[in-house]
Amino acid sequence: MKKILSIVVVMFVIATFFIIADRKSYATKEQDTTVFNEKDSSNTSIKDPVKALYFSYIELERYIKGKDEETIKKNIDTVIDNMYKDGFNWLILHVRPFSDSIYPSKIFPNSKNVTNDELPFDILKYFIDKAHQKDIQVHAWVNPYRISNQTNFKIEKDHPAYKFLNTNNIKVIEGKGIYYNPASSEVQSLIVSGIDEIVTNYDVDGIHFDDYFFPGGDIDKENYEEYQKKGGTLSLSDYRLNNTSTMIKKVYDTIKEKKKDVLFGIAPEGNINNNYNSNYLDTKKYLSQEGYLDYIMPQIYFGFLNENRPFTKTIEEWNNLIKVDDIKLIPALALYKSGEEDKYAGSGLKEWQEQNDILKRQIIYARNLSHYQGFTLFRYDYFYNSSKQNKNTLSEVENVRNIIKK
């Protein structure tokens, strides 16, 4: 009897052990699923349709300016090969940083960021041809209003701003540089003509504007006073918002009239309120109505611990602004902050120094948003140039490489 009882007890203990183990295993699986959704992309079916890199005028100066034709082409080949190897599929190429061009233009002078003389060849075309061979899109990045970030910049006769000298179509803004006046209809026509030239002559996949919109100061004071004299009733703020919106709309319509498949997107400041109140960019309007944009690329250069603009809250706000299903959200992320103090982040000051997987977690978090279409990193050199990298940058880069490949 005792022997039987002992056997029953042993069997009970064994059964209990397996039940508990199974429950622990189930609980662990549930926990892992939760963690996976937020932290890891290894099993997700969500993809990143857009994997983009900015290639700015700073990179143009590094890899193109002062080089002979053979070296320039080799450098461009390397850029495209690097991107292809790591799975990037969009290149946002700075084609007009300062009312100029990296391609032969009948409107704008050659960019000083690529040459002090004649263009050695058509740099934009070469970029496009090489990128398309690797199924990488090229989006032509334009600063619409900026002429120079130096106030003593000399405007030559071949510059389109030359005819605007001694008029209010251009203004010197102390501490910022020289800018076109957004309220000028002549300026708007110039911007639109420049976009028309690119789309007509080049097989670009998109046109891209960044966050240099309203230059500041009283650049449009005379225009607004004239507007009021003619009976205009808009406030100064609404007047400025309307001028920017008119320009955006004209650019969009021009692109679509030429080539419907060419995309138009903008990369506004990450702070939505600043766009509306300081940059006079009505992103709420563009994202709730058709006919303005194909994609929005807000510069969400904030960490998760940013006291004022935490990443999760900010990107959700952007996602919720989009009311047109065809408009895609492609956040721009701050690779350049890796390993650095984030001086405007308040209590999140040290986040980019103390953590080295921020970009990975940001991409994975963004994938759950309804309008998410991919991501962009600012900028190329921080991904591929060792002189711009620190220990944290290298970890961030490797993490991004890994999730792109999965």
Same domain, 70 and 128: yes
The C-alpha atoms of residue 332 and residue 307 are separated, in whole angstroms, by: 19
Whether pTM > 0.85 for this model: the answer is yes
pLDDT of amino acid 184: 97
pLDDT of amino acid 211: 85
Domain with residue 128: its CATH number is 3.20.20.80
- Is 85 a domain residue? yes
> How does strand 177-180 pair with strand 146-148?
antiparallel
- Is 45 a domain residue? no
Same domain, 103 and 30: no
The C-alpha atoms of residue 178 and residue 191 are separated, in whole angstroms, by: 16
Residue with tokens 């308040």: 346
The C-alpha atoms of residue 358 and residue 288 are separated, in whole angstroms, by: 30
Domain of residue 75, residue span: 50-405
Q: For the chain, which ranges sit under pLDDT 70?
A: 1-46
Task: Give 150-182 pLDDT, tens digit per residue.
Answer: 999 999 999 999 999 999 999 999 999 999 999
Q: Which residues pair with 51 in a beta bridge?
A: 375
Same domain, 148 and 297: yes
Length of the chain in residues, anyone? 406
Same domain, 224 and 308: yes
Buried b (16+ CB within 10 A) or exposed e, 203-232: ebbbbbbbbbbbbeeebbeebbeebeeeee
Number of domains in the chain: 2
Q: Which two tokens stand for residue 351?
A: 């986040």
The closest of 399, 380, 396, 392 to 339, measured between CA atoms, is 392
Same domain, 221 and 76: yes
Task: Give 241-274 pLDDT, tens digit per residue.
Answer: 999 999 999 999 999 999 999 999 999 999 999 9
3-state secondary structure of 180: strand
Same domain, 27 and 156: no
Same domain, 197 and 290: yes
